[in-house]
């Protein structure tokens, strides 16, 4: 039943939008073309910001800094009973949602969803935001260039979400 609902949701939504537009006597084709034109202009506006973010992520991952950071903080994390395997996900979460979903998927396949690592990674995924991606996309699309306070606030909230996620999972399942 749920499978049928999920398959029909998008087509029904499209039909509802078309019927609503017809009822309001909106020229659907012209509105669609106007919307795609505006979208194309927005894509051209935000493309440099997204390209710079992707370039920066690739440089960070290719530099080996992540491995060095993990080796440095491993003893500290182990003393707190925090699995080192979740650190790459915690570091990538503010940057990229797709990257963290891939990391989460790998962790769940390797350790299982009911493991401490699986639980921590899942709670981190749900408790944090892709702050830098959101700032790049949304602030870039409206032309806001001074993002310093929003960025630091967002990253602070992400850090609090990661720490709280680890603490809650350790408290409940540790």
DSSP assignment of 115-130: SHHHHHHHHHHHH---
Q: Report the half-sphere exposure of 52 (CA within 13 A, side-chain side).
A: 10
Q: pLDDT tens digits for 54-100?
A: 787 778 778 888 788 888 999 999 899 999 999 989 988 998 888 88
Write out pLDDT tens, residues 111-162. 999 999 999 999 999 999 989 888 888 887 787 888 889 889 999 999 999 9
Distance CA 43, CA 122 (A): 31
Claim to verify: residue 138 and residue 105 sit in the same structural domain = yes
Same domain, 41 and 86: no
- Do 75 and 123 lie in a common domain? yes
- Please tell me the predicted confidence (pLDDT) of residue 148: 84
Residues 100 and 168 in one domain: yes
Domain range enclosing 69: 64-173
Domain count, the chain: 2
pTM greater than the 0.85 cutoff: no
Give the pLDDT score at 16. Answer: 93
Per-residue model confidence as pLDDT tens digits over 84-96:
999 989 988 998 8
Mean of per-residue pLDDT scores for the chain = 88
């Amino acid at each position: 039943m749920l499978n049928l609902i999920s398959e029909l949701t998008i087509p029904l939504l499209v039909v509802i939008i078309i019927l609503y537009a017809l009822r309001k006597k909106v020229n659907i084709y012209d509105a669609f073309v106007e919307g795609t034109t505006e979208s194309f202009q927005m894509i051209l506006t935000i493309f440099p910001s997204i390209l710079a973010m992707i370039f920066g992520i690739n440089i960070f991952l290719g530099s080996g800094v992540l491995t060095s950071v993990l080796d440095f903080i491993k003893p500290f994390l182990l003393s707190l009973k925090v699995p080192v395997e979740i650190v790459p996900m915690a570091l990538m979460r503010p940057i990229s949602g797709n990257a963290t979903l891939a990391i989460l998927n790998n962790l769940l396949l390797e350790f299982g969803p009911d493991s401490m690592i699986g639980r921590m990674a899942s709670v981190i995924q749900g408790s944090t935001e892709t702050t830098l991606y959101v700032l790049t996309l949304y602030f870039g699309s409206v032309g806001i260039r001074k993002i310093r306070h929003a960025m630091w606030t967002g990253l602070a909230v992400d850090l609090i979400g990661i720490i709280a996620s680890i603490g809650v999972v350790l408290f409940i399942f540790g």
